Amino acid sequence: MAKKKKETYLEGLAKGLELDDSTPERKLILALIEAQKDTQKELEEAQAELETVRSELDDIADFLDGIAEVFAEMSEHEHSHGDGEECGCGECCGADAEYTLTCPKCSGEITVSEEMLDAGSVTCPACHEKLDFEFYEDEDEEEAEF
């Protein structure tokens, strides 16, 4: 039974006993039903608060993931440039690395840049399928999954 139906059912049972309003038994039964209602209300409020906390925790986890990515990129690309000199690494000095992907829907080839990958998604020009990217750190290599 649904919670509200159970409450109504219990109240009906108590009334159906036809006990005198002044008897200790009736007072006890009514007090127990009222305590159960209060407990149910507190439980519902706690569940709503828990959902809020879960949502905020997810936001914090996403934020920390972003910070971890920044630190990972910084540690992968540790070198100084001096007085505006290019290092020639192809990653930070204007030469974007490009990758060729195969669309899982139409098998068309898509050329994407680092910037497009960092955005998290790209649309296939052939079939207009949206491809989302998630990166996972492997022991020796980084994989993209879409």
Q: Give tens-digit pLDDT for 7-50.
A: 888 888 888 888 787 888 888 888 998 998 899 999 999 999 99
pTM above threshold 0.85: no
Report the phi/psi class of residue 18: left, alpha or beta, with left for phi > 0 and alpha for psi in -120 to 50: left
Question: Domain spans of the chain?
Answer: 3-74, 98-145
Q: Which residues contact 141 (CB under 8 A, 6 or more apart)?
A: none
pLDDT at res. 89? 56
Going by pLDDT thresholds of 50, 70 and 90, the confidence category of residue 52 is very high
**Region 122-136 average pLDDT:** 83
Q: What is the DSSP letter of 90?
A: S
Whether 5 shows a pLDDT value over 90: the answer reads no
**Region 69-90 average pLDDT:** 61
pLDDT at res. 92? 55
Nearest to 19 by CA among 9, 29, 33, 34: 29
**Region 54-74 average pLDDT:** 88
Are 94 and 83 a contacting pair, CB within 8 Å? Answer: no
**Region 79-96 average pLDDT:** 53
CA dihedral 68, 69, 71, 75 (to 10 degrees): 130
Q: Work out the mean pLDDT of the chain and round it to a whole number.
A: 79
Structure tokens at 133: 């990217």
